[in-house]
Amino acid sequence: MGKMGSTAPKNESSTRIRGIYHDVLYDPEGRILEDRGWCSNTILDGCRLLLAGFMRNETAGGITGLAVGQGDPAWDTAGTPAPNPATTTGLVSRYNPIIPFSALEVVYLDQNDQIVTGPSMRLQMTATLVPGYPAPTAPLSSYALREFGLLAVLNGSEMMINNIRHPVLHKEEASTLIRVIRLYF
């Protein structure tokens, strides 16, 4: 039996797992209040654990939902720190309940980001944060969003696989936020 090397092959694919997201905030009449364009997000080590678990036939539940949160208000003045892929396992200030997977619109995309029917190496999830979600804390009329994360389950344990911390976005109680997340594998 040949000796197994401990280093990765030199011709590894240049493709890496990555994610982007796009937020559009609408007023009650459907007018755009804010469009932040496409931004990068952070793939966490939890995603790599989940993929390895699938490959080893572990009991994996896949993506279970999208969590949103207020983050840390100090980020508004000190700057928003990027999540550390190796150590970030949850949101700083998570709102409950999460948006369950069943409420997300999930589609596969081709290399041109067009919807396709079969499995592909691109996945798009669209979450609609409806009026009243997340609920503002009284006496406020808006909820300060600064973070979100995709959650998954592996062997019965919840883990976060994707995370973004962003400048504060004040979602008024009557407004709607459409958040589109794309993962490229």
Give the mean model confidence (pLDDT) for residues 127-139. 94
131 and 179 Cβ atoms separated by less than 8 Å: no
Amino acid 15: pLDDT: 63
Strand order in the sheet with 115-116: 99-100, 60-69, 142-154, 157-172, 32-43, 18-26, 176-184, 122-129, 105-109, 115-116
pLDDT of residue 72: 97
Question: Is 17's pLDDT higher than 50?
Answer: yes
> For residue range 21-49, what is the model confidence (pLDDT) as tens digits?
999 999 999 999 999 999 999 999 999 99
Global confidence as pTM: 0.88
Weakest mean pLDDT among 5-9, 112-116, 158-162, 176-180 = 5-9
Percent of the chain with pLDDT over 70: 91
Longest CA–CA separation in the chain, Å: 70
